Amino acid sequence: MERDFDKALQIRLEDRMDSLNYYSWYFNHLKINDEIEKQISKEKPFMSFLMKFMNLPMNIYRFFKHNIMLFEFYMCAKEVEYLKMKLGLIKKRIEK
């Protein structure tokens, strides 16, 4: 029974580590897009303003989506920390 629980924790840890990699990729992608958008807005300020105004509902959606993803990233990171701690305690108990 204890081995099944240990295995379940290990599988969940691997899944959460994959999720953290995805979130990391997502935030890096956003950072690159933001830098490119800043460069374009310097070159064509009026066009940039017009596009931001026209896409205001979508920009609001992206703002909330980004904040939700950030929250999920922190939850996932905290879960990885917790799972590593639990697996460490189980391994110490097995060694004794």
Q: What is residue 45's predicted lDDT score, i.e. its pLDDT?
A: 92
Judged on CB neighbours under 10 Å (0-12, 13-18, 19+), 16 is buried
Looking at 44-55, list the stretches that DSSP marks H as alpha helix, in order from N- to C-terminal side.
45-54
Q: What is residue 31's predicted lDDT score, i.e. its pLDDT?
A: 95
Domain ranges of the chain: 2-95
What are the pLDDT tens digits along the chain (96 aa)? 567 888 888 999 999 999 999 999 999 999 999 999 999 999 999 999 999 899 999 999 999 999 999 999 999 999 999 999 988 876 666 665
Distance between CA 74 and CA 31 in Å, rounded? 18
Q: What is residue 88's predicted lDDT score, i.e. its pLDDT?
A: 83
Q: What is residue 33's predicted lDDT score, i.e. its pLDDT?
A: 93
Q: For CA atoms 62, 63, 69, 72, give the dihedral sign.
A: negative
